[in-house]
Amino acid sequence: MKHTEQLSKLKQTPEWDVIIIGGGASGLGTALDAASRGYKTVLVEAVDFAKGTSSRSTKLVHGGVRYLEQGDVSLVREALKERGLMAQNANHLVKNQSFVIPNYNWWGGYFYTIGLTIYDMLAGKLSLGKSQYISKKKTIELLPTVEQKGLVSGVIYQDGQFDDSRLAINIAQTAVENGATLVNYTKVINLIKDDNNQVIGVKVENQETGEVYDLKGKAIINATGVFTNAIMKMNDKVYKKYIVPSQGIHLVFDKSFLPSDHALMIPKTSDGRVLFAVPWHDKIVVGTTDTLIKSHSLEPIALEKEIEFVLETAQRFLAKKPTRADVLSVFAGLRPLAAPEKEGKSTKEVSRSHKIFVSETGLITITGGKWTTYRKIAEDIINKAIATKKLPMKECKTEHISIHGNLPTNTKDRENHLYIYGTDIPKIIALQKQEPALVEKLHPKYDYTLAEVVWAIRHEMARTIDDVLSRRVRLLFLDARAAMEVAPKVAHLIAKELGHDQAWIDNQITEFNTLANGYLLTEFKTI
């Protein structure tokens, strides 16, 4: 997947069957679905693939235990099926994760065991394992640093865990392998309409060169997540709010705060939300919050009240109490929740299921949804385009399409940090042999090498320091200070590969340091 090749295809194609705006989970999934059915497909992303919501999740592939409690059985059943398909189609990135719920009252163990048994049953043959009640002793054995005071019992259940932006990149590669054209840093600046006010294309601007292109197509799909409203302003004569952004934040700590392969799940915090502490890339990710916000941005900043909430809750349930000084990185993400019919609903009341609607102009828009159901969302979007006569009928093929990197089940080795590359691992090792200087580590504390940076530039369309350190090797999300330390090294590698000058390098380092400061708590910012 090379940027120059994709851009060339975009320029040379006079008309498309499907034009997708937005390179997050829903957009990338739709590109794969459309291309695999045989439609001529192009996707344009204003910045980098998965730059927004799709790289900032809790890293869970799950049916949604909390939705089961709310009685949304159909959403849970659909998500559990998709969880199973993701595990089959991208098993290098999706793993079976054990979760333990510690109970501090006598009834909790029975209540959650019953609920999670139903959860397992809904998964059917795609179940990841059986839930069971466990003793206080077993709970402590599985979660050595759990708060023991008042602990009565525990419940263990199975769900999925993954690397979100790595999966996004692999879905993009799979879409390209199926004939789609995908270009990042290409922003839609207007919709093209005919005399009947029907959307027949998009006007896009190359964010690196300033060039403007017109793309014409039959089905135009708006999959821009929290930026849906901005596209709809170009589409509608009368402005209407289509999505309400909800912010979730996560704090990242050293593995010593939960030295276990098991994750901690608190089903009901002080304000009724769910909190997870999940092992991820040899760190612990703790979150999340759920706060409706009025504005949105590409780099949302965690609110102090959210940080304090996650810290206080983690301190209540962990014997080793994390403090602000222990936070290696804090990242915030926005969920594009479908706007409720009535104003003033809380985030818990706003539907998590996706909604697809067709405007009078013919523009097809997706709102809501979550990572776990990305494939089903994509299927529904293309089926909607077929139902509205924009595309000829062709069957969906994605249920059993293997995602780029997918490994035979018996070859997984998660001890090696390269496991996220799956079938590309031998190619990265070969690259290190061809260019021995690339064996060098990016940072002495981490196993990432220069070869992975070069691989990201040559084969995964990384264009900036942020692309590499946020969404290809994930260092910014794991340790913001370390990411800032290696930024100059990455900038020089990108410049060498893409032919940039010293001014570009200096500007990139400044931009990245400003961005990375948003991943540090206020008192630890360097600027």
Considering the domain architecture, whether residues 40 and 153 belong to the same structural domain is answered as: no
435-459 average pLDDT score: 97
Cβ atoms 243, 296 nearer than 8 A:
no
Cβ atoms 372, 94 nearer than 8 A:
no
CATH label of the domain that carries residue 10: 3.50.50.60
- Residue 415 inside a domain? The answer is yes
> Is it the case that residue 170 has pLDDT exceeding 80?
yes
- Residue 139 inside a domain? The answer is yes
Considering the domain architecture, whether residues 182 and 215 belong to the same structural domain is answered as: yes
CA separation for the pair 89, 354 (Å, rounded)? 22
CATH label of the domain that carries residue 272: 3.30.9.10
- pLDDT in the model for residue 467: 98
- pLDDT in the model for residue 168: 98
pLDDT per position as a tens digit, 275-306: 899 999 999 999 988 888 877 788 889 999 99
Handedness of CA 211, 214, 215, 221 (dihedral sign): positive
- pLDDT in the model for residue 440: 97
Considering the domain architecture, whether residues 434 and 482 belong to the same structural domain is answered as: yes
Give kind and range of the element (H or E) at residue 475.
Answer: helix 475-478
Considering the domain architecture, whether residues 302 and 361 belong to the same structural domain is answered as: no
CA separation for the pair 480, 461 (Å, rounded)? 22
23-42 average pLDDT score: 98
> Is it the case that residue 415 has pLDDT exceeding 80?
no
Q: Which of 142-156, 226-240, 357-371, 441-455 has the lowest mean pLDDT?
A: 226-240
> Is it the case that residue 454 has pLDDT exceeding 90?
yes
CA separation for the pair 250, 57 (Å, rounded)? 9
Q: What angle do CA 328, 331, 332 make, to 5 degrees?
A: 160
Considering the domain architecture, whether residues 420 and 440 belong to the same structural domain is answered as: yes
Asked, as a colleague might, if the bond just before 288 is cis with ω within 30 of 0, I would say: yes
Q: Which of 111-125, 353-367, 495-509 has the lowest mean pLDDT?
A: 111-125
Considering the domain architecture, whether residues 376 and 501 belong to the same structural domain is answered as: no
CA separation for the pair 56, 50 (Å, rounded)? 9
The candidate with the shortest Cα–Cα distance to 307, out of 520, 74, 145, is 520
If one counts every other C-beta atom within 10 angstroms of the C-beta of residue 426, the result is 10
Query: 357 forms bridges with which residues in the sheet?
Result: 365
Cβ atoms 445, 439 nearer than 8 A:
no
Structure tokens at 387: 């139902």
Considering the domain architecture, whether residues 301 and 446 belong to the same structural domain is answered as: no
pLDDT per position as a tens digit, 395-404: 999 999 999 9
> Is it the case that residue 486 has pLDDT exceeding 70?
yes
- pLDDT in the model for residue 63: 78
pTM beyond 0.85: yes
pLDDT band at 413 (very low <50, low <70, confident <90, very high): low
> Is it the case that residue 176 has pLDDT exceeding 60?
yes
Handedness of CA 132, 133, 135, 140 (dihedral sign): positive
Domain boundary among 309, 338, 367: 338
pLDDT band at 75 (very low <50, low <70, confident <90, very high): confident
- How many folded domains does the chain comprise? 3
Considering the domain architecture, whether residues 252 and 331 belong to the same structural domain is answered as: yes
Residue 380 CA: distances (Å) to CA of 62, 229, 316, 403: 20, 21, 42, 19
499-527 average pLDDT score: 93
- Residue 40 inside a domain? The answer is yes
Considering the domain architecture, whether residues 133 and 260 belong to the same structural domain is answered as: yes
- Residue 213 inside a domain? The answer is yes
Average pLDDT, the chain: 92
Considering the domain architecture, whether residues 313 and 362 belong to the same structural domain is answered as: no
Residue 361 CA: distances (Å) to CA of 196, 197, 234, 255, 435: 8, 6, 11, 51, 53
> Is it the case that residue 199 has pLDDT exceeding 80?
yes
More confident residue, 410 or 402: 402
Domain boundary among 285, 303, 338: 338
Query: From its phi and psi, is residue 104 left (phi > 0), alpha (psi between -120 and 50) or beta?
Result: alpha
- Residue 59 inside a domain? The answer is no
More confident residue, 311 or 291: 311
> Is it the case that residue 27 has pLDDT exceeding 60?
yes
The contacts of residue 56 (CB under 8 Å, 6+ apart) are 164, 248, 250, 300, 331, 332, 333, 334
Considering the domain architecture, whether residues 32 and 10 belong to the same structural domain is answered as: yes
Considering the domain architecture, whether residues 136 and 170 belong to the same structural domain is answered as: no
> Is it the case that residue 23 has pLDDT exceeding 70?
yes
314-343 average pLDDT score: 87
CATH label of the domain that carries residue 470: 1.10.8
Question: Quick one: what percent of the chain has pLDDT higher than 90?
Answer: 76
- Residue 514 inside a domain? The answer is yes
- pLDDT in the model for residue 342: 58
- Residue 505 inside a domain? The answer is yes
Question: Quick one: what percent of the chain has pLDDT higher than 70?
Answer: 95
- pLDDT in the model for residue 347: 46
Cβ atoms 485, 520 nearer than 8 A:
no
- Residue 391 inside a domain? The answer is yes
pLDDT per position as a tens digit, 213-247: 999 999 999 999 989 989 999 998 777 778 888 89
- pLDDT in the model for residue 349: 44
pLDDT band at 249 (very low <50, low <70, confident <90, very high): very high
The candidate with the shortest Cα–Cα distance to 100, out of 139, 59, 151, is 139
- pLDDT in the model for residue 352: 58
DSSP 441: B
More confident residue, 195 or 290: 195
Domain housing 467: 410-524
